[in-house]
Amino acid sequence: MSDYATLKRWALVLVCLAAADTVAADDWPIYRGPAHNGISAETGWFMPAAGLKVLWSANIGKSCSSITVVGNRAYTMGNKAGNDIVYCFDAASGKEIWKYSYPAKLEPKMYEGGPNATPTVDGKCVYTVSKRGKVLCLSAEAGEKLWEVQLAAKMPTWGFAGSALPVGDTLIINAGGAGTALDKATGKVVWDSGTGPGGYSTPVPVERDGKTAVVLFSAKSVVAVNADDGKKLWQHEWKTSYDVNAADPVMVDGGKKVFVSSGYNHGCAMFDVSGAEPKLLWANKSMRNKHTNSVVYKGAIYGFDETTLTCLDAADGQVKWTHKNLGRGSLMLADGKLIILSDKGTIVIADATAEGFKQLAAGQVLRGPCWTVPALANGKIYARTKTGMLSCSTFRGK
């Protein structure tokens, strides 16, 4: 690389880092949103009289990557013709602004294949993780590659799936027994937890004793580590068939508790993690999140128990209500309402209440199969199929 090219690359990296922490409240810059819990702070997005309108759609290739949105740009990933592709779209029109591709096998394995993780936008940088552990830093403006590294940890059976979590000057990734941290500016390893396979979930930050900790659902446990050095704070064994711990841990009561759930008939549990060791509060098989996530809101847990939409009491895990006919869907929450994507591509809006399932609106936006959680940003709902169709819709009428 020439001296000029090197200086240009470093200038772009510095611009990216300087612009971090400027994300607007209604943006959705990371998987499961800026609060890391699948809940958006956005209001005014649901105008039922307007009905659901599809604004635009795009063919992005096979993948389970969700969508992130910052400003007027939407980012996602797919795989076409032996290449992974990172896309940047104009959120208003669906026009492709840029794309970055690299050779990568589709590798279907009991599903369509393609990349699993979702792009993370931090300042003016976009960070991606491929199925085989290639981590990229791209400029959000033009998609120019700033750096690339290969994770040393072993690839899980279905490939790396957790998205990169920015914490300070590092990116934390679910790789190894309890995570791996990379320098955001260079990709250099800051700390790691060995070369064993990790879990499939995205790391979740939490404040503990005035410092930032990270909770990971690893291959065989739920574990918390110091973000600075990777030192373990606590760990609880959680072994699941095929080591599939895919749903993100959900922090509850300001980080004093954590909810975890896995499929393959394993079930769920709530732990008190305010002390030195996790304390089991309750556990059952009433919520088995196979590849999607639950949300916790006003004392209730909403999620898919395999193929049944279920609401649990967060205090004791008792079932409050169930609703079928949405298949193996996924959901998020905004302004007291559930935004549900059925596995056949129907968007359903329902009240987030433990009193019972109350549908407010519904509309078809895709023709399944849909396994990826929808995203809401600036009045627009983004959803995708595993086979490669992306849709952007709204209840605002325009």
Q: What is the pLDDT of residues 236-264, one digit of tens each?
A: 999 999 999 999 999 999 999 999 999 99
Whole-angstrom CA distances from 201 to 87, 118, 175 are 22, 11, 10
Strand ranges across the sheet with 330-334:
39-40, 330-334, 337-341, 346-351, 359-364
Mean pLDDT on 277-283: 97
Q: What is the pLDDT of residues 59-107, one digit of tens each?
A: 999 999 999 999 999 999 999 999 999 999 999 999 999 999 999 999 9
The predicted model scores a pTM of 0.94
pLDDT at 11: 53
pLDDT at 23: 46
Say if residue 201's pLDDT is above 90: yes
pLDDT at 397: 79
Q: Which domain holds residue 297?
A: 3-394
Specify whether the CB–CB gap between 168 and 190 falls below 8 A.
no
Q: What is the pLDDT of residues 308-329, one digit of tens each?
A: 999 999 999 999 999 999 999 9
- β pairing state of 380-384 and 389-394: antiparallel
Percent of the chain with pLDDT over 90: 91
The two structure tokens encoding residue 327: 């298949």
CATH at residue 348: 2.130.10.10
If one counts the domains in the chain, the total is 1
Q: What is the pLDDT of residues 385-397, one digit of tens each?
A: 999 999 999 999 7
The two structure tokens encoding residue 273: 């993690």
